[in-house]
Structure 1
């Protein structure tokens, strides 16, 4: 499996994707390159590198060699992009984003590390009972930009609804009250198109957080280029489409029924007799989506996660609570109430 590192043609420094400029920046000479230029600069010796960085038999999928310094890079089975622990050179494990694991599309990071840290601090500073250690410098430095794998589906369905509508009118004439009930047969047939039904494709990911950072603006989607991963961490999928199809179809059908129901208006009440949905076309894409994330081991032994959508800054997470702060504030409030009670007693 090849270990790829993208090098600056001017100084041979590593190139990383810059979310602010949407270009590739050299960390050493500050040169910048567009995606088109990167495509032209792709290493011609990639096959040679694959031979030179081939790992010993039995270690495939866990140990590789850095193309810059030769040090061993130890990874988990799903890691697709990482950093060398010694020279901090960004590397992409190309075999994990090729063949059957080649993503169809990617949404590049639009928020860089500096912006991610600013948004993180702004978020936690508004939480009064978060432990100081959670936003200590050492903790903030752990914030990581990660491309997580997702499956995204579009569906075209034919929908048919049969229902009974009722309109009831009540009026009085003299001492008599009259009620008129009109019953209508209601039928609807609609073509329903649903887009961008998104599911996390990494088993070890925190499912609540992986879904919590959604949605993304798919208008910014790009065809997958391996170079987008340079400078970030990345994970490849370990959940296949077949594992998620039933859940996605159920969600699509529920949403389709709701859309059909919303077309029926002008009645006091509606009773649905039959609703049929037939999926006649579905299209799935394997996507890489950007997430800024940080973890915090709480004193209670629980690991807390903070995640932020790397495109629009949407935050999802569960923050730890410093109960000493809670008790201190509670004690202060109780003392204040007691003091006001004494003052009130003296005045009376």
Structure 2
């Protein structure tokens, strides 16, 4: 498996994607580059993305570090559900999960992309790049959590919030054009009064509606190990900002490859599509007081599936109660979701002090009265 790092053409430092500027930035000489410039300076990344022969490219490399990196990469081994790869920067062996596609070396912090995880059938069609930087994410997160009461003080420590990590999670997006054939029994009720007598007339109609429905943007998380509820709750994303996939967007972030396929979630998404189409047809027949015995057929004229990486800032906090608290932030819009720790002793002490103050005020008031 090819291990890719993006290097600065000016100083050789690591390039990472900068959400604020949308460019690739070198933290050493502070140079910045467009996507095209970064890929031109790192041709091996472009070769991996295009599926070219990595082995041939490695043989042509004259740089000693590249040759060493290629030999070490060949030594990568699968260990059950984990994978060991060799960092091309410092030579350390790093263990990753079987679904990890981009990460960084825990020793030298060199960002790396494991291209084999995102090639061939596992290559994403699109990516939603991070729009919120780590500094912005921390600021938004602290601003949000400081409004909460009785959160442990160490929750706000710099060493804790600096653990926030940007992760690209895999998603399937489903949509297309569909023909609908809707059949139901509709009921209309007419009420009128003649003299002192009130009359009610109920009419039953055969209802049929045909039409076309266009749906796009039905999405599902494609990773089993993710906290699905947590990640789903930071949606929606602005899908119109999707970009054709490039591995450069992953540099400096973590990324996961999918382990859930289309056929596993297709029934769920198609059921959601049917519910939406049924609602649209009901709106077309809104002159009836009720619709019963509904039947609907959906015939796809065109279906499309897209494999996309969505940006999420994640943070964990090991609570004193033994529970690990997880938080997620939409890396594009800043929407936050999570379960916050609660310091029970502080809450009880505050309640006790408040009750004591009320009692003192009442006693003083009664004394002077």
Shift of 1:279: 3.5
Q: Which runs of 5+ in 2 are unaligned?
A: 48-53, 59-65
C-alpha contact 2:76 2:83 (8 A) present in aligned 1: no
Q: Specify the alignment match of 1:309 in structure 2.
A: 330
C-alpha separation in 1, matches of 2:243 and 2:339: 31
Q: Specify the alignment match of 1:249 in structure 2.
A: 270
C-alpha separation in 1, matches of 2:283 and 2:351: 48
C-alpha contact 2:76 2:84 (8 A) present in aligned 1: no
Q: Secondary structure at the match of 2:43?
A: coil
- Is 1:52 equivalent to 2:65 in the alignment? no
Q: Secondary structure at the match of 1:116?
A: helix
C-alpha separation in 1, matches of 2:179 and 2:346: 57
Shift of 1:214: 1.5
Shift of 1:322: 1.1
Q: How does 1:276-287 map to 2 (within 5 A)?
A: 276-287=297-308
Shift of 1:51: 3.3
Q: Specify the alignment match of 2:295 in structure 1.
A: 274
Shift of 1:345: 4.5
C-alpha contact 2:75 2:85 (8 A) present in aligned 1: no
Q: Specify the alignment match of 1:132 in structure 2.
A: 153
C-alpha contact 2:77 2:85 (8 A) present in aligned 1: no
Given the superposition, is the C-alpha separation of residues 273 and 141 from structure 1 closer, same or farther in structure 2, using an over 3 Å criterion? closer
C-alpha contact 2:189 2:201 (8 A) present in aligned 1: yes
1:224-265 deviations in Å (ceiling 9; x for gaps):
101111111111112222221121112211222122212222
Shift of 1:347: 6.5
C-alpha separation in 2, matches of 1:82 and 1:92: 7
Q: Specify the alignment match of 1:21 in structure 2.
A: 21
Farther-moved stretch of structure 1 (51-60 vs 212-221): 51-60
CA RMSD of aligned residues (A): 2.1
Q: 2:186 aligns with which of 144, 156, 165?
A: 165
Q: Specify the alignment match of 1:3 in structure 2.
A: 3
C-alpha contact 1:2 1:53 (8 A) present in aligned 2: no
Q: How does 1:257-268 map to 2 (within 5 A)?
A: 257-268=278-289
C-alpha separation in 2, matches of 1:161 and 1:340: 69
Given the superposition, is the C-alpha separation of residues 342 and 288 from structure 1 closer, same or farther in structure 2, using an over 3 Å criterion? same
Given the superposition, is the C-alpha separation of residues 333 and 52 from structure 1 closer, same or farther in structure 2, using an over 3 Å criterion? same
C-alpha separation in 1, matches of 2:194 and 2:330: 63
Q: 1:215 aligns with which of 228, 232, 236?
A: 236
Q: Secondary structure at the match of 2:265?
A: helix
C-alpha contact 1:55 1:63 (8 A) present in aligned 2: no
Shift of 1:196: 1.2
Q: Which runs of 5+ in 1 are unaligned?
A: none
Q: Specify the alignment match of 2:168 in structure 1.
A: 147
Q: How does 1:285-304 map to 2 (within 5 A)?
A: 285-304=306-325
Q: Specify the alignment match of 1:179 in structure 2.
A: 200
Q: Secondary structure at the match of 1:75?
A: strand
Shift of 1:169: 3.1
Q: Specify the alignment match of 1:89 in structure 2.
A: 110
- Please, what TM-score do these two structures have when normalized by structure 2? 0.88
Given the superposition, is the C-alpha separation of residues 338 and 190 from structure 1 closer, same or farther in structure 2, using an over 3 Å criterion? farther
- Is 1:335 equivalent to 2:356 in the alignment? yes
Q: How does 1:187-202 map to 2 (within 5 A)?
A: 187-202=208-223
C-alpha separation in 1, matches of 2:365 and 2:183: 68
Shift of 1:187: 1.6
Farther-moved stretch of structure 1 (264-273 vs 72-81): 264-273
Q: Specify the alignment match of 2:50 in structure 1.
A: none
Shift of 1:30: 1.1
1:298-331 deviations in Å (ceiling 9; x for gaps):
1222111110000011111111111122212322
Shift of 1:58: 4.4
Shift of 1:344: 5.6
Shift of 1:74: 2.1
Farther-moved stretch of structure 1 (64-73 vs 160-169): 160-169
C-alpha separation in 2, matches of 1:157 and 1:332: 64
Q: Secondary structure at the match of 2:337?
A: strand
